Structure 1
Amino acid sequence: MILAPIDWAIIGAYLLFSLLIGVWVMRKAGKNSEQFFAAGKNMPWWLLGISMVATTFSTDTPNLVANIVRTDGVSGNWVWWAFLLTGMLTVFVYANLWKRSGVLTDVEFYELRYSGKMAAFLRGFRAVYLGFIFNVVVMATVSLAAIKISGVLMGLSPVETVVIGGLVTVIYSSLGGLRGVLLTDFFQFFLALGGSLIAAYVALNHPEVGGLSGLLEHKEVVSKLNILPDFSDPSQAIGIFIIPLVIQWWSVYYPGAEPGGGGYIAQRMFAAKDENNSIAAVFFFNAAHYALRPWPWIIVGLCSIIVFPEVADLKEAFPDASGVADHDMGYPAMLTFIPTGWLGLVVASLTAAYMSTISTHLNWGSSYLVNDFYKRFIRPDSSEKELVTVGRISTVILMIVAGALALLLQNALDSFQIILQIGAGTGLLFILRWFWWRINAGSEIAAMFIAFAVALYFQFAHAHTGLPEVTGWQELIIGVIVTTIGWLSVTFMTRPTDYKTLVNFCEAARPGGPGWQNVINRAKEKGEDLEPLEDEAWRVPQGLLCMVLGCIAVYGALFATGYWIYGKWILASIITVVALVSSGLLYKAWRKLIKIRPDEELFDEE
């Protein structure tokens, strides 16, 4: 596929625009580490929310969705749609807690919540593990998708793709910090969304597809259209629907959908100007991520089934990319039919998707390495200028390592499953640690290592044990059970967090609830005045109500859109009404939640 000069001009203009933003905000971003990693903690909800959406709209996302649609049909998307429950829990229960905590990164949280050498070890280890190892794997997966797309559309080799895309991204990320990332994300969001709509329109108008009616009536596509799985096939229903909705959403750590919040989602919450902006930003992200974006990707994936039914067809059509061809290449393959000019815009949109995700992960990972490892353990007395310099250097190193790893990967869906398995069983701990005083640093260390060990076992050792083979969802359940039993056992076998640390955490985050009653009772026995903690209104019950209503509203919008596309007018109308009613009820419940405010003056007086 050879791009015309106008296509290259559009792509080049976008790359130059991104670089200029980095240069424009360079001076402000370089003032101190809070500016570089948290944009001064004064950002509005709409900019943060759009940035979250842009970050999760990466080059590997439409590839992943196309892979799922081609292999498991539309209903296969429940493996990630289920994470909406996690997102809404974060919105209405955890967003305000993260903002109150006052930390710069979610890894810094460990020494706010836990005490002693184990807490320090946990902070340092997680900084390196998440900021470098885990983060590099995610960026490599994203880069793999960029390799496949550029190989199909631009004829670039994997090395050329990694060098060109990585170079531009690392320059503006290292110069502009989080502020530069947020501003480029704002434009990248609209460009990427527009590109996906163009891709869906062109795919539908392919001669072999024959428009929307031709797509929906094609014999190879009809069986793939169901939004809910075929419950007559228990293995499919369990694997792609029941397990994700019943177990996966609360038990698995996955970037962008961490139970209890975390990662770059938490980073955006820290950057918000106040709690309300933090909550609104995460809500906008979840609504747009699950209800606004999926259908253009799904349509392109369905069209690719008609044009390229098998992987062999993809390899034959694109011999230069045959070495990495798989079902996830169905999406970029359909983009080759986009006409000149429009193609340049779509490629620029995919470039934007790639850069938005990589830039976020670069800044997020660098924040861990600088704030929670270098500053905490290497040079505690380092100046703000030094921290920014180290942040820029670590940004470059992360990009180099991620690019090298990307050249070794093969499939986006495989990487998705590996990441899920590595985090299996840790999610419940991340949810409970805010509301149960007994969880300590040992609990988190145990959960982390046990989950990783189980993942390694299934990835490399299980096939050689002679034991029966297990499916992906069975691996997930086993991982959750083993990891949960492990960290709960360690919790009760190790000493609790220091009492003073628990009190300080309660005063900072004010989580409330019966899980902290033990701490309040101990304070009474000591004759200490903790009335502000005892009188704190517990927001969780109202937050859970908002979570349920939010899920109904967003799922309703997602399904209604699908049924309108399918031409099922009655069902679409009913679901649309449900979505609108639940949205109205959510508005009222949300207003009540906001009124459940802590008495700030009590804490100020103390």
Structure 2
Amino acid sequence: MKLASVDLIIIAAYFVLMIVIGFIMKNRAKKSKDNYLMGGKKLPWYMLGLSDASDMFDISGTMLLVSMAFLYGFKSVWIPWMWPVFNQVFLMVFLSKWLRRSNATTGAEWLGTRFGLTDKGVRQSHAVVVAFALMLCVGYMAYAFVGVGEFLEIFIPYESVKEVVPFLDKHLETMVPGSPEFETALSAAKSATAQFYGVSICIVATFYSIVGGMHGIVLADFIKYMIMIFCSICVGTIAMTHLAHSGINIMDKVPTGWDTPLFGTELGLNWDGILKDASVKLGKDGYKLFMAIVGMMFFSGVLKSLAGPAPNYDCQKILSTKSPEEASKMSGFISIILLPIRYFMTMGLCVLGIIYFAELDLHKTADGVNFESIMPAVINNYLPVGLVGLVLAGFLGAFMSNFSGTLNAGQAYIVNDIYLKFVKPDASRKQIINMGYISGTVMVILGVGLGLMIRDVNMIFNIITAGLYGGFVCANVLKWYWWRFNANGFFYGMLFGIIASAIPPALSVSGITNYFDGTRMLYFFPVFILIQFIACVIGSYSAPPTNPETLLEFYKTVRPWGFWKPVHELAVAKDPSFEKNKNFKINMFNVGLGMAGQILLTLLPMYFILSKWSALGLVLALLAVIVAVMRKTWWKRLNDF
């Protein structure tokens, strides 16, 4: 597809606006280290929440959600539990407050409030968290770089820019079309064009995030999310109009059970006789025993959620809020602002894909149709001029948001946990800001360089997400809830957890075995947890407990529930009026309501677009009940522990 001039002007105007934001926010960001990295901890919770939601509304994730909605229908609302999407509920209810009370700047700095600065294993635990965070940041930037370039190349192909950007011209007109030489040169030209787009967009994102700091990132995210709200409403409305005027009963084109989120022991969707490629894809995905899969997603998701946020942009936004109460509000606002808007667009694109599936020019794989290409194909063919430009600007902004948020988190770790701690503790404000510029530039070079060198970026992405995140869980759960867990246990738990969790995806993506493909990795999650738990316990008991004064200060400041009896007794001995946090039951009650609310917020736009008014009314009624209850059990108790 060759974009219309109007669409190109919209995209160009968006990029210019991002650069202007960087200049506008430059002086505000330079006031101090906290202003640069955390917006001075003065940004309102709803702006930070909207910015965080903006980081999560990305191209790759939306393409995946559209394909899942197409294949699994309303049952697809359960699949994001694998990530898990409900970690925001745990943060909203209690963990964001606990994290913010530390008043730290990064996740690594937070460790000092929990384990102290001198005990055995402190330096190693600090090092493993900083390494974890920086590897995560560089890996995600490489993934974003390659993904955004490949996505944009679909809409502005090599043939459209070779005249404008001469160094991309591979002179294909001198070769015989269809010949091996021609195909090789064409593939190289497309790859070079995608890389050119990736570098160009990353330069813009780098500028406003490095120069403008957190202020620039949040303002840019706000503008981008306003665009995405408008685009989502337009896409959903277009889908409803096409469905109404087509005279098609959408249930004739999908299997029985597609339009309900309820399920039994098995998935219960049969695409045979409707769409063979869909049937093949469902078989490969491995969701047949759906109840067992959802159960494993729930188990692993709860543990991941209890661990708190990973050291990335999500953690950074929580630490940037004005207060612990506002941190909770921010995390709650994310689900409210993200899920209905994102799924309004997701379901709109899905419905258009179902109606016009036979007419779409979809990418093919060895197993048949690549269902993730439904989204760009629908945007290509069924959205009007102008809206295409806005949608692309919004999605490119989504990549830039994710890129800049990740970059900001990486800068915070380098400045706070390396430069100020080990290189120049007495650095001036100007030196700190300059180090922010330098560290940001270095991280971008590493991320983009990795993206340029590695063709199969999914290999890196899978190892990082499955390996690093898989090894993250146990140590980060125990640090909140068990007093005897110390820095030594944290270090060994993280180290052995990452190694154990990284082996299966490494074997899978390297082609040594396909045994761990699909959902099979989920069944090994308890094994990884057991390995991590053993390493955590042995590591903890091979070193003395954390200094009692450090534990007491942490316990009195953060106010966690869990296994803290010896520390609580010490606190009461010093202050008989000190109260124990007894909110475990009410917290878990609110978590359950919040998870139900998330599912309902997801179903809301799905029922609306398909005009299922009875089901929509039931969803709204249930949401009203949840809101009324949580207003009493959560909102009015934000100042409680």
TM-score bracket, normalised by the shorter chain, equals: 0.7 to 0.9
Contact 2:87 2:301 in 1 (8 A): yes
The counterpart of 1:288, out of the listed 334, 337, 342, is 337
Specify every segment of 5 or more residues in structure 2 that has no aligned partner in the other structure, as ranges: 159-192, 268-286
**Aligned match of 2:446:** 401
Contact 1:447 1:483 in 2 (8 A): yes
1:365–1:238 CA distance, 2 compared to 1 (3 A):
farther
1:20–1:298 CA distance, 2 compared to 1 (3 A):
same
**Aligned match of 1:244:** 297
The counterpart of 2:387, out of the listed 342, 352, 357, is 342
**Aligned match of 1:546:** 590
Tell me, in whole angstroms, the C-alpha distance in 1 between the residues paired with 2:295 and 2:37: 38
How far did 1:240 drift?
4.6
Contact 2:312 2:406 in 1 (8 A): no
1:309–1:114 CA distance, 2 compared to 1 (3 A):
farther
- Letter paired with 2:40: G
Per-residue Cα deviation, 1:35-63 (whole angstroms, up to 9, x for no partner):
11111111111111111111111222212
**Aligned match of 1:273:** 322
Contact 1:169 1:358 in 2 (8 A): yes
- Letter paired with 1:138: Y
Alignment: residue pair count: 578
Tell me, in whole angstroms, the C-alpha distance in 2 between the residues paired with 1:411 and 1:308: 29
- Letter paired with 2:27: R
How far did 1:235 drift?
3.9
1:519 matched to 2:567: yes
Secondary structure in 1 aligned to 2:485?
coil
Contact 1:260 1:431 in 2 (8 A): no
How far did 1:577 drift?
1.3
How far did 1:380 drift?
2.0
1:194 matched to 2:240: no
- Letter paired with 1:89: F
Tell me, in whole angstroms, the C-alpha distance in 2 between the residues paired with 1:140 and 1:559: 33
1:126 matched to 2:160: no
Q: Within 5 A, what are the aligned runs for 1:420-459?
A: 420-424=466-470, 426-459=472-505
- Letter paired with 1:14: Y
- Letter paired with 1:139: M
Per-residue Cα deviation, 1:317-341 (whole angstroms, up to 9, x for no partner):
xxxx99xx94323212221122322
**Aligned match of 2:640:** 596
The counterpart of 1:572, out of the listed 599, 612, 616, is 616
Tell me, in whole angstroms, the C-alpha distance in 2 between the residues paired with 1:26 and 1:363: 14
Tell me, in whole angstroms, the C-alpha distance in 1 between the residues paired with 2:522 and 2:259: 22
Tell me, in whole angstroms, the C-alpha distance in 1 between the residues paired with 2:457 and 2:263: 24
Give the stretch that moved more between structures: 176-185 or 560-569: 560-569
Q: Within 5 A, what are the aligned runs for 1:101-500?
A: 101-115=102-116, 116-130=119-133, 132-155=134-157, 157-202=193-238, 214=248, 216-220=250-254, 224-229=258-263, 231-233=265-267, 235-238=288-291, 240-245=293-298, 247-252=299-304, 259=308, 263-301=312-350, 303-304=352-353, 307=356, 313-315=361-363, 326-337=370-381, 338-407=383-452, 408=454, 410=456, 415=461, 419-424=465-470, 426-461=472-507, 471-500=520-549
**Aligned match of 1:30:** 30
- Letter paired with 2:448: G
Tell me, in whole angstroms, the C-alpha distance in 2 between the residues paired with 1:263 and 1:468: 27
Tell me, in whole angstroms, the C-alpha distance in 1 between the residues paired with 2:58 and 2:234: 17
Contact 2:250 2:354 in 1 (8 A): no
How far did 1:214 drift?
3.2
- Letter paired with 2:41: K
1:230–1:591 CA distance, 2 compared to 1 (3 A):
closer
**Aligned match of 2:172:** none
Tell me, in whole angstroms, the C-alpha distance in 1 between the residues paired with 2:460 and 2:265: 25
Secondary structure in 2 aligned to 1:293?
helix
Tell me, in whole angstroms, the C-alpha distance in 2 between the residues paired with 1:50 and 1:468: 36
Per-residue Cα deviation, 1:206-259 (whole angstroms, up to 9, x for no partner):
7xx7868637234256665443456335744146522112x1212337xxx963
Secondary structure in 1 aligned to 2:203?
helix
**Aligned match of 1:59:** 59
Contact 2:467 2:505 in 1 (8 A): no
How far did 1:282 drift?
1.0
1:77–1:142 CA distance, 2 compared to 1 (3 A):
farther
- Letter paired with 2:215: R
Specify every segment of 5 or more residues in structure 1 that has no aligned partner in the other structure, as ranges: 598-606
Contact 2:307 2:474 in 1 (8 A): no
Contact 1:442 1:490 in 2 (8 A): yes
Per-residue Cα deviation, 1:379-410 (whole angstroms, up to 9, x for no partner):
22222221211111221222232233335355
1:517–1:110 CA distance, 2 compared to 1 (3 A):
same
Contact 2:55 2:405 in 1 (8 A): yes
Contact 2:63 2:372 in 1 (8 A): yes
Tell me, in whole angstroms, the C-alpha distance in 1 between the residues paired with 2:355 and 2:468: 35
Contact 1:63 1:330 in 2 (8 A): yes
How far did 1:98 drift?
1.8
Give the stretch that moved more between structures: 361-370 or 546-555: 546-555
1:59–1:477 CA distance, 2 compared to 1 (3 A):
same
Contact 1:29 1:179 in 2 (8 A): yes
How far did 1:205 drift?
6.2
How far did 1:108 drift?
0.6
**Aligned match of 1:506:** 555
Contact 1:60 1:141 in 2 (8 A): no
Per-residue Cα deviation, 1:478-498 (whole angstroms, up to 9, x for no partner):
323332333234333433212
How far did 1:417 drift?
8.1
Tell me, in whole angstroms, the C-alpha distance in 1 between the residues paired with 2:603 and 2:304: 25
Contact 1:251 1:480 in 2 (8 A): no
How far did 1:416 drift?
5.9
1:145–1:397 CA distance, 2 compared to 1 (3 A):
same
TM-score (norm 1): 0.86
Equivalent pairs: percent with the same residue? Answer: 21
| Aligned Cα root-mean-square deviation (Å) | 3.3
Tell me, in whole angstroms, the C-alpha distance in 2 between the residues paired with 1:466 and 1:30: 51
Tell me, in whole angstroms, the C-alpha distance in 1 between the residues paired with 2:562 and 2:394: 48
1:45 matched to 2:97: no
- Letter paired with 1:580: A
Tell me, in whole angstroms, the C-alpha distance in 1 between the residues paired with 2:501 and 2:88: 24
1:595–1:117 CA distance, 2 compared to 1 (3 A):
closer
**Aligned match of 2:276:** none
Tell me, in whole angstroms, the C-alpha distance in 2 between the residues paired with 1:135 and 1:228: 37
Per-residue Cα deviation, 1:270-317 (whole angstroms, up to 9, x for no partner):
222222222111110122233442242144145435645799x5237x
1:350–1:222 CA distance, 2 compared to 1 (3 A):
farther
Contact 2:48 2:330 in 1 (8 A): yes
Tell me, in whole angstroms, the C-alpha distance in 1 between the residues paired with 2:424 and 2:359: 55
TM-score (norm 2): 0.81
